[in-house]
């Protein structure tokens, strides 16, 4: 049974990824075990291609104000989706430096159902 369909933008084409029921629960457990290490720019650059068009949803899950998201969208509207995501996550890191942890970011990726980005983040930390 298909639980969710996530569309990510990578190399100028859409890739549809299907996730089976239960994937979210497994990630939920994994995210709960993560520590409070800070998110680095390297982490952001690594996960951004996998976040793709869901970057605004991820920022909303990180409690970034809608006006900030709108401004980022306008400022980077001619950039590739990956660059928009990078700039959005860097802005979050700048605004919430104390809360910009691996665990918080992983939770936002989980809520936005960006499982590929979660896998990339997991691979980058350990």
> What is the residue extent of each domain of the chain?
2-125
Considering the entire predicted model, what is its pTM?
0.79
The fold of the 2-125 domain, in CATH, is: Death Domain, Fas (1.10.533)
pLDDT confidence tier of residue 7, bands split at 50, 70 and 90: very low
Query: Of all helices (H) and strands (E), which one includes residue 105?
Result: helix 102-111
Phi, psi (rounded to 5 degrees) for 79: -90, 165
Q: Per-residue pLDDT for 22 more than 60?
A: no
Helices 23-32 and 115-125 pack at an angle, to 10 degrees, of: 40
Please tell me whether residue 65 adopts helix, strand or coil conformation. coil
Number of Cα atoms under 13 Å in the Cβ half of residue 66: 0
CA quadruple 96, 41, 88, 71: dihedral sign? positive
**How far lies 63's CA from each of 15, 43, 101, in Å?**
27, 19, 14
Mean pLDDT of the chain: 83
DSSP run (H or E) holding 14 = strand 13-20
49 or 99: which leads in pLDDT? 49
* pLDDT score at 76: 97
pLDDT band (50, 70, 90) for residue 25: low
Cα 40 to Cα 37: distance, rounded to the nearest angstrom: 9
The pLDDT, as a whole number, for residue 3 is 41
pLDDT of residue 29: 66
Q: Model confidence over 48-94: pLDDT tens digits?
A: 999 999 999 999 999 999 999 999 999 999 999 999 999 999 999 99
> Virtual CA dihedral for 76, 82, 83, 87, nearest 10 degrees?
90
């Amino acid at each position: 049974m298909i639980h969710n369909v996530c569309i990510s933008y990578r190399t100028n084409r859409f890739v549809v990824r299907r996730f089976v029921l239960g994937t979210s629960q497994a990630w939920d457990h994994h995210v709960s075990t993560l520590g409070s290490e800070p998110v680095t720019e390297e982490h952001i650059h690594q996960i951004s291609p996998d976040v793709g068009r869901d970057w605004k949803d991820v920022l909303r899950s990180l409690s970034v104000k809608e006006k900030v998201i709108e401004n980022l969208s306008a400022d980077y509207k001619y950039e590739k989706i990956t660059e928009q995501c990078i700039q959005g996550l860097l802005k979050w890191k700048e605004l919430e430096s104390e809360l910009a942890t691996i665990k918080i970011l992983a939770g936002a990726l989980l809520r936005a159902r960006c499982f590929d980005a979660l896998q990339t983040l997991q691979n980058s930390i350990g």
